[in-house]
Amino acid sequence: MVSRALVSAGWLSGALKSKKSLQVVDSTWYSPGAKDARKEFMERHIPSAQFFDMEQCRDAGSPYEMMLPSQGQFADYVGSLGISNSSHVIVYDGDNMGMLYAPRLWWMFRVFGHTNVSVLDGGLVNWVKRALPVTSEITAVKPQKFNATLNKSLLKTFEDVQENLRSKTFQLVDARGEGRFRGPEPKPEEGIEPGHIPGSVNLPFSGFLTPEGFSRPSHEIRCLFEEKGVDLKQPMTATCRRGVTACHLALAAFLLGKEDTAVYDGSWSEWFHRAKPEHKVYEKRNRA
């Protein structure tokens, strides 16, 4: 079953009241040393929601911070949250932007073969603004069997993107802000300069969201792609800094009927460290 990619707070509130078979998941994440996402969840979350810990469900052996876990690791972790292959999963996060990490988890479910997944449009911040119920009560769940099957068509590796420099098989669209893409902004973290992959197009993910944190209407999303010359009828791969906001591009394209957008999981974090110098494009900053 393929579910609609977005559900409203009103729909979810009604579904929870009617006891529909749903598994609500909080995907809030913060950089290590920042705020404590799990603590925030324990204090306030949508009733019956489970906390999806991105730190526990990733490739911890990778030097890059958000790489996909193995197929087995994902299946075991998801099953521990009470999610089975028949579950309709609703993903949200608590970021003030409305939606920041939820599209990443939406994509993760899809890349592991589970298409019955939706994102809560507007996230927790707009749920709270509507005075809808939140709780600190943790709902006990019974572990379920979850079978994961990697859909390789939705995932691109370093080698895939490297080969694409020559073959130009797919369009590469970068979801970061212009400053990080072009290069004049300061380093996002020690050891990584801003810049981009040759031939990539810059389409910042923030443009897909309204100031209130909701997804923009489909016609506005379509215009954003068209303005950048992105052809949604052709193969497309999304990238960003660590494979998170790239998933906003995949979600936006999905809303327009394009369900096959791939994500370069390692994104700029991996590319910066592995690519040849001539395959990294950036503008020099003026130094006083």
Q: Are 48 and 16 in contact (CB under 8 A)?
A: yes
Nearest-angstrom CA–CA distance, 187 and 195: 10
Half-sphere exposure for 88 (CA within 13 Å, toward CB): 17
Return d(Cα 144, Cα 149) in angstroms, integer.
Answer: 16
21 neighbors 88 (Cβ within 8 angstroms): yes
154 Cα distance to chain centroid: 13
Question: Residue 192's pLDDT is what?
Answer: 86
- pLDDT tens digits, residue range 92-106? 999 999 999 999 999
* pLDDT at residue number 287: 43
Query: By three-state DSSP, how is residue 172 classified?
Result: strand
pLDDT in tens, 181-234: 998 777 766 678 899 999 999 999 999 999 999 999 999 999 999 999 999 999
Q: What is the crossing angle of helices 267-274 and 158-167, to 10°?
A: 80
Q: State the residue for tokens 């993910």.
A: 205
Q: How many CB atoms lie within 10 A of CB 172?
A: 23
The per-residue pLDDT for 285 is 55
pLDDT on residue 185: 79
Give the other-Cβ count within 10 Å of 146's Cβ.
22
- Per-residue pLDDT tens over the stretch 178-189: 999 998 777 766
Whole-number average pLDDT of the chain: 93
Residues with catalytic function: 240
pTM of the prediction? 0.94
Query: Hey, how many other C-beta atoms are within 10 angstroms of the C-beta on 205?
Result: 24
Name, in order, each residue with C-beta under 8 angstroms of 192's C-beta and a sequence gap of 6 or more.
Answer: 241, 268, 269, 272, 273
- In angstroms, the CA 102 to CA 109 distance is 11
Domains 6-150 and 153-279 share a fold: yes
Which of 60, 254, 243 has the alpha carbon at shortest distance from 155?
A: 243
At 229 the three-state DSSP class reads: coil
User: By mean pLDDT, which of 24-33, 99-108, 265-274 is the weakest?
Assistant: 24-33
Closest C-alpha to 214, from 131, 98, 118, 106: 98
Neighbours of 199 (CB within 10 A): 13
Q: List 239's β-bridge partners, or say none.
A: 174
CA–CA separation, 42 and 51 (whole Å): 9
So where are the chain's domains? Answer: 6-150, 153-279
Query: Of the CATH numbers 3.90.1640.30, 3.40.250.10, 3.40.50.300, 1.10.10.10, which one belongs to the domain with range 6-150?
Result: 3.40.250.10
pLDDT at 112 over 50: yes
E strand segments, the chain: 6-7, 22-26, 50-51, 88-92, 117-120, 155-156, 171-174, 201-202, 236-239, 262-264
14-23, 106-115, 191-200: which has the highest mean pLDDT? 106-115
Task: Indicate if the pLDDT at residue 18 is higher than 90.
Answer: no
For residue 32, name the pLDDT band (cuts at 50, 70, 90). Answer: confident
Residue type at position 109: F
Query: Which fold is adopted by the domain 153-279?
Result: Oxidized Rhodanese; domain 1 (3.40.250)
